Structure 1
């Protein structure tokens, strides 16, 4: 038991760093994923994950695999795409989901092209799938800072975010906090995707945000409980995925996301809040 579960983290420093990284990602990304899901913006998160790719690729073009350059580039690209998609949907007949899809495809193609101009196939794989087993001190500090900022910001924005999920019309009628809250929330989405990008790559970063959130929905109906559940499921998925990768010699990033996907399928089947097993086993009706 020790050799299988604890040994890899006790003996290898790169496994310890990877574990700290995925825990930080789960702590910040899980609650953000819950609000994305409740606001029916799950696919928006996926589109935004690809939107950061051109900015990160431009940072790579000028500075190589530099953490500050790729982070600043990714943040800038994510904000630009979010604002541009909002303006297109506001001033044209195109809906926000269609405009995000257009920007997502353009961003993915542009980012891959930019990386390919200078880098090798290894660099391209690094950008697309991350290097969770090669996190350095600066990257871990960045992930910790992002998770800290996210938790503190959600604590401040919690009430307007919940109101916007439940009754956005009421929020607009009693407060002007709706638009600033929405913009701040999009900023948190971009920030967490940039952090996830450094560990899991642009193609998988959104996985640690949405899969634990979707799994937690089948175990809780209260928003706070869902947020806590998403964090726990995300952390356990990171732990399980790293162990799976270590023992079976699988790519670490995909193994983490596959483990989170397994948690989602398990929750879909057995979750107490709408799981398939509970739907097939209805409770007793009230008797007169």
Structure 2
């Protein structure tokens, strides 16, 4: 009980736990769809793509939540549109053009922050400060979680169909294009909201790792989504406790906790883990 007492005794730990819970509820389901659509690396690329917008917001207004949030959303949308345009105009694969733009964005964002800010400001933007969340950041995280769940509920069926057979969805419905761009919007919004707590480089971990881990335990999307949220919550609690009791940096500690659960799932998960796949099958005799 003494290990968990920090969540009851300190207000900043309660705020950090609430913020991480909002990220888990919001980003983990989005990560499940990224995993099913084989777009996991896109989440990582978009987390870098928002950095120039965050940096511009920082240059204009300092560590202003509103300015950095708007800047991050605008930058993410621009990179997504440029990636699509390059793919259509040149025939280059989408993953290749996205990789080019995210590398450019990462370098540009770090350069912009370095022009005015200190190394402390740069570390704050890149790796977050979940133990110092203010009211504005908590409202943003909770609002993002609410909007994400509502939008996912509205587009759930066409989004699932697009994961299974996007060609069929394009044939029978005009929702294919809008659903794709709405989903990309959810990815960007969740990454922008998550950077307030975990930074631009760590927020994608809470989006991708729980979904990847959950897939080793179930092939049913509903079950996988619930498991991803639970894994996100468990990772957040473990990372926050490690940060409080042993002085670990909170963002990396949370992400590494999610990574540890992923490795355990990779080895022991009943839906494709290494050990169950190596286990001899049952033989039946007449």
TM bucket, shorter chain = over 0.9
Q: Does 1:28 align with 2:46?
A: no
> Are 1:4 and 2:3 counterparts?
yes
Query: CA deviation digits over 1:41-86, x for unaligned, max 9?
Result: 0000100000000001000000000000000000000000001101
TM-score under structure 2 length normalisation: 0.98
Residue 64 (structure 2) aligned to one of 63, 66, 71 = 66
Equivalent of residue 272 in structure 1, options 264, 270, 273:
270
Would you identify which runs of 4 or more consecutive aligned residues in structure 1 move more than 2 Å? 285-288
Separation of aligned partners in 1, 2:15 and 2:159: 33
| Aligned counterparts of 1:282 and 1:50: Cα–Cα separation in 2 | 44
Superposition pairs of residues 1-288 of structure 1, within 5 angstroms: 2-5=1-4, 7-287=5-285
**Deviation, structure 1 residue 246:** 1.2
Q: Deviation of residue 286 (structure 1)?
A: 4.6
Q: Deviation per CA, 1:160-211, whole angstroms, max 9, x where unpaired? A: 0110011111111110110000000000000000011111111111000000
Secondary structure of 2:248's match? coil
Per-residue CA deviations over 1:194-229 (Å, capped at 9, x if unaligned) read: 011111111111000000000000111001111111
Cα deviation digits, residues 143-173 of structure 1 (max 9, x gap): 0000100000000110001100111111111
CA distance in 2, matches of 1:102, 1:85: 9
Q: 1:111-154 deviations in whole A, cap 9, x for unaligned?
A: 00000000001000001100111100110000000010000000
| Count of residues in correspondence between the two structures | 286
Q: Give the Cα separation in 2 of the matches to 1:287 and 1:37.
A: 39
**Separation in 2 of the partners of 1:61 and 1:242?**
30
Which has the larger displacement, 155-164 or 7-16?
7-16
Unaligned runs of 5+ in 1: none
